[in-house]
Amino acid sequence: MKILVAGVGNELRRDDGFGAAVVNRIVEKGLDRQLNIHVQNFGQNLNGLLLALKNYDAVVIVDAIEGPGNPGDIYIIELSDIGPEKSVTYDFHDADLRRFIEFGRSIDVVPEKTYVVGCHPGDLSYGIGLSTKTAEKIDITVELIAEIIKKIHKKT
C-alpha cells in the first residue's frame, strides 16, 4: 500500500502554510519511516500533486480549510464528502482544492482512499509564520493523520 501525505498551501500567507508545517513535523518526528508513507510539500503546485496521485493507493492532503467552525478547528474530510453535489461548507482558498479533486476524479487519478485534513485559519494575510491558534494544532493534526494511516493499513 503506497500512501502519500501531501502538504498544500501558500507559506507566504501565514496560516495557509499549515499543510507545509504539518508535513515538516511528520518528517521531523520520523513518522514517514515509521508509518511507511511518502511525505511531500507541494505548496501551490496542485498540478504536481495531480501527477503524483496516480502513483499512490491512498492520499492524505493537508491544507488550511475554512469551515463552519472557528480558527484553530480541525476538519477531516473524506473523498465521499467532496463533490459538486455535496453541500459541505468548506473553502479551500485560492487553489480551490475541491475543483482539483473533482478534476482528478474525472481523469481517474484520485485514489478512493483520499482524505483532506485541515485547520481553520485565523490569519491569511501576507507574511511568514502561523498564527498561535493554528500553530498549536500542528501536533494534534499529525496524530490524527497517523490514526488515519493506521486505519488505511488495517483495511488492506
Q: Structural domain tally of the chain?
A: 1
Tell me the per-residue pLDDT of 89-146, one tens digit each, with 9 for 90 and over: 444 444 567 777 888 888 899 999 999 999 999 999 999 999 999 999 999 999 999 9
CATH number at residue 75: 3.40.50.1450
pLDDT of residue 86: 46
State the cell numbers at 31. 513518522
CB 17 within 8 A of CB 130: yes
What range defines the domain where residue 107 resides? 3-155
Q: pTM, whole model, 2 decimals?
A: 0.90
Give the containing element (helix H, strand E) for 135: helix 132-135
For residue 132, what are the CA distances in angstroms to 26, 129, 135, 146, 154?
19, 9, 5, 23, 35
Which pairing describes strands 113-119 and 74-78: parallel, antiparallel, or unpaired?
antiparallel
Q: Does residue 12 carry a pLDDT above 70?
A: yes
Average confidence score pLDDT of the chain: 89
